[in-house]
Structure 1
Amino acid sequence: MDRPRSVRPPTARRTGAVDWIAAGLTGLLLVSATACASPATAPAAATATGSSPSASAPPAATPPSTPATDGTPLDSDAAPGVTAAGVGAPNPQPAFASKALDVLATIPIKGRAPKTGYSRDQFGQAWADVDRNGCDTRNDMLRRDLTAPAFKPGTRDCVVLSGVLNDPYTATLINFLRGNATSTAVQIDHVVALSDAWQKGAQQLTPAQRLSFANDPLNLLAVDGPANMKKSDGDAATWLPPNKSYRCTYVARQISVKASYTLWVTQAEHDAMARTLGDCPDAPAPTNQEAPPPPMQAPAPAQQAVPAPAQPYVAPAPAYVAPVPVPAALASAYYANCAAVRAAGAAPLHAGQPGYRDKLDGDRDGTACE
């Protein structure tokens, strides 16, 4: 270790002994200053002398890095809606860390942009399986929001056949029954309507971000069908749930969605939101951590048991086999009808696969041309 030396003026001349004495006094002064320093500054003073802090003195605390909600560090250089993991995810927010009123204050206020160029297709395929759990988003939301759900056999608890909805918009109980004439009693509402989002910033999002927006559980609710039809693409200035006790929660959810995807609000919309939250100023802002049930795993092959003599043997159901990825050349496949699908050897088509359309799926169970 180099010994500290005092600085020698150009005109001074000292002997070696004087140099040692000056160096010793300098060291004593520095040690005394270090000993008198607070615990937070002692390590820094020791470092300044080129020596290590005392082993008995704990190092100064270092603030932990702030992780994203998915456990990955935030990328401060990432554009809105882009995380270190990739493109398309909403901006991560801590769970209930902010009041909805505080979040509202961060959302820009602008005029409504023209609706030019809007179509449902701008937000990707309807009810795509974005979380890759084998179930389309509509069934994910039904499974999340209905009580006592019953599932179609052989769909790995994906296709919801029935259940009971405690509707947040009307405060009524609705019996859901899957069918062409009955399914519309319960609809999946985009809390921030796609058309409204398009006119307030979604035009600047990437296609992947718009697909995420349309399938984000934070922006989706199973609700009363007629109430959803009355809402249409209205914002908080033109429509609020008839159930007044739910309005604070509804507006707080809209605020979180718009903040997550860097959308804006109009002045009338802002005022309506602030007025609603005036009755509940501490209402928290929900976050995009809310998610549908975890991905379903393919069932393990059942162990074949020896059947009882009086009972006929029933073979176990085959294990689920993941569909073979479609080549890029067929990514834009289109089939006029199920006959064309079968002729191409592509039947059955599952929701999320190229060529799948609701019109080919008569019972709307996520599998077409069965």
Structure 2
Amino acid sequence: MVAGERWNGYDRNLFVHWTDEDADGCDTRREVLLRDAHSDLRVDGGPECRIVSGVWYSPYDDAWVEGSPAGLHIDHVVPLQEAWDSGAHAWDPGRRRAFANDPGGLAAVTAGINTAKGADDPAQWMPPNPHHRCAYIASWIAIKFRWDLTVDGREAGYLRDLLSGECRGLTVGWASAPTAPDRG
């Protein structure tokens, strides 16, 4: 649904995130790192679910990260502030917590690219990797739909332009983890 955004009252602390929903010792951040690792994953055998190293692909900037996951952020594809502005301000704390920890709305990406994205919507920021732009839009739309979040007029116009141009014929399904190209 197209509607104006609410641009006040946001506080990141209203979205409790990086919780251990399944009580397995791994918080949501670590669960995404485990899910998105491509190879050479090494986890400390202790009870803290400490991920020591691995190989990850950051689709936004087409970058491979090898070794420590310290240079990775877990991106909320639809940023928490954007969710707030688009309807999450009316949610109860439990729904905000569920959104903030929804693996279908999270991706492991390089810290720099996540910082560059900030809380922007696609009309303001798109992944610089041209091969991931349509997948990013598909995830964005699916997340907004699944969580019943609105899009503002500028955002809707930008999405329409992409869907009738660069991303013509795009099929939008449930948000899922991004896929990496073959390394070579």
Report deviation, 1:257.
Answer: 0.8
Query: Which amino acid in structure 1 is aligned with residue 45 of structure 2?
Result: P
Tell whether 2:3 aligns with 1:110. yes
- In structure 2, stretches of 5+ residues that fail to align are 178-184
Aligned equivalent of 1:235, options 121, 125, 129: 121
Query: Which amino acid in structure 2 is aligned with residue 214 of structure 1?
Result: A
Aligned equivalent of 1:210, options 85, 96, 118: 96
After the TM superposition, which parts of structure 1 deviate over 4 Å for at least 4 consecutive aligned residues?
none
What CA deviation, in whole Å up to 9, does each residue of 1:90-120 have, x standing for no partner? Answer: xxxxxxxxxxxxxxxxxx111121222x211
Aligned equivalent of 1:175, options 66, 72, 91: 66
Aligned equivalent of 2:76, options 190, 194, 202: 190
- Residue equivalent to 2:109: 223
Report deviation, 1:166.
Answer: 1.6
SS in 1 for 2:173: coil
Report if aligned partners of 1:176, 1:186 keep a CA contact under 8 Å in 2. Answer: no
Report if aligned partners of 1:201, 1:264 keep a CA contact under 8 Å in 2. Answer: yes
* Aligned-partner Cα distance in 2 for 1:230–1:137: 22
* Aligned-partner Cα distance in 1 for 2:117–2:18: 20
| Structure 1 residues 34-45: aligned runs within 5 Å | none
- Residue equivalent to 1:286: 173
Report if aligned partners of 2:142, 2:174 keep a CA contact under 8 Å in 1. Answer: yes
Aligned equivalent of 2:31, options 140, 144, 149: 140
| Structure 1 residues 1-370: aligned runs within 5 Å | 108-116=1-9, 118-124=10-16, 126-147=17-38, 148-155=40-47, 158-178=49-69, 183=70, 185-278=71-164, 279-287=166-174, 290=176
- Residue equivalent to 2:182: none
Give the fraction of aligned pairs with identical amino acids, expressed as a percent.
35
* Aligned-partner Cα distance in 2 for 1:264–1:145: 28
* Aligned-partner Cα distance in 1 for 2:31–2:73: 13
Report deviation, 1:276.
Answer: 2.0
Report if aligned partners of 2:144, 2:150 keep a CA contact under 8 Å in 1. Answer: yes
* Aligned-partner Cα distance in 1 for 2:2–2:160: 13
Q: TM-score, normalised by structure 2?
A: 0.88
Report if aligned partners of 1:165, 1:175 keep a CA contact under 8 Å in 2. Answer: yes
Report deviation, 1:155.
Answer: 3.2
Query: Which amino acid in structure 2 is aligned with residue 129 of structure 1?
Result: D
* Aligned-partner Cα distance in 1 for 2:95–2:23: 16
SS in 2 for 1:175: strand
Q: How many residues align?
A: 175
* Aligned-partner Cα distance in 2 for 1:155–1:226: 30
Query: Which amino acid in structure 2 is aligned with residue 264 of structure 1?
Result: T
Q: TM-score, normalised by structure 1?
A: 0.45
Report deviation, 1:271.
Answer: 1.4
- In structure 1, stretches of 5+ residues that fail to align are 1-107, 292-370
Query: Which amino acid in structure 1 is aligned with residue 32 of structure 2?
Result: M
Query: Which amino acid in structure 2 is aligned with residue 121 of structure 1?
Result: N
Structure with bigger strand share is: 2
SS in 2 for 1:110: coil
SS in 2 for 1:121: helix
* Aligned-partner Cα distance in 1 for 2:32–2:130: 23
Structure with bigger helix share is: 2
Question: Considering only CA atoms, is the larger Rg found in Structure 1 or Structure 2?
Answer: 1
* Aligned-partner Cα distance in 2 for 1:248–1:131: 32
Report deviation, 1:131.
Answer: 3.0
Higher relative contact order (CA 8 A, sep 6+): 2
* Aligned-partner Cα distance in 2 for 1:176–1:282: 37
